[in-house]
Chain A
């Protein structure tokens, strides 16, 4: 699943650690989500959407690569 997390973070001039702290996850988790190595759970996806004031589908793009 692709996402716009890195772009949204850069727009706010936040580091990965800053975003991680605001989401209450580790910096490694933010990095794994940004690089597409980890798909966040639904609760975390909602937290991300709330933080950026967007809808989940505005941040995460389903590329049809689901099992």
Chain B
């Protein structure tokens, strides 16, 4: 029986295992949502656009597919993190806040730096996906720093 307490485990250890299982389920769900988004956009992309190249005008999706992907993105980037914030403990919340702060600072500082460098003839003009990547990478690196510090 999966619900029966394993032999030799105290009540605290049982709850710790439940917490670990919930976290694993959360990660699997997040990964599955990301995989479905990638699968759908890969299978139904009708244009020659590329997020990394920045040629947005060439991106093309059927409106219904676009709405579906938008809903999945909102679930993956809003609903899941908010749910996660409600369930994690104070240490992980502190680490997440450091991560989000790093992401915000990366954009706040990164975009104007990128823009002035471009104005000086150094590098391409800032584009939306690049700015999004700044936030994402800044957040990830800051979160890793927080994990290492704790």
Contact = CB atoms under 8 A, between A and B. Distances in A.
Interface in B5-42: 10-17, 19
A40 B94 CA distance: 11
Contact of B150 (A22, A25, A28, A44): A28
Contacts, number: 59
B90 A44 contact: yes
Interface in B89-103: 89-92, 94
Contacts of B14: 21
Interface string B77-94: 000000000001111101
B4 interface: no
Q: Is the interface of A mostly helix, strand, loop or mixed?
A: helix
A17 interface: yes
Contact of B10 (A21, A23, A37): A21
Q: Is the interface of B mostly helix, strand, loop or mixed?
A: helix
A14 interface: yes
Considering residues B16, B19, B150, which has the most beta carbons from chain A within 10 angstroms of its beta carbon? B16
A59 interface: no
B91 A14 contact: no
Nearest to B14: A21
Interface of B: 10-17, 19, 88-92, 94, 149-150
6 contacts: A15-B10, A18-B16, A23-B12, A29-B90, A32-B150, A38-B150
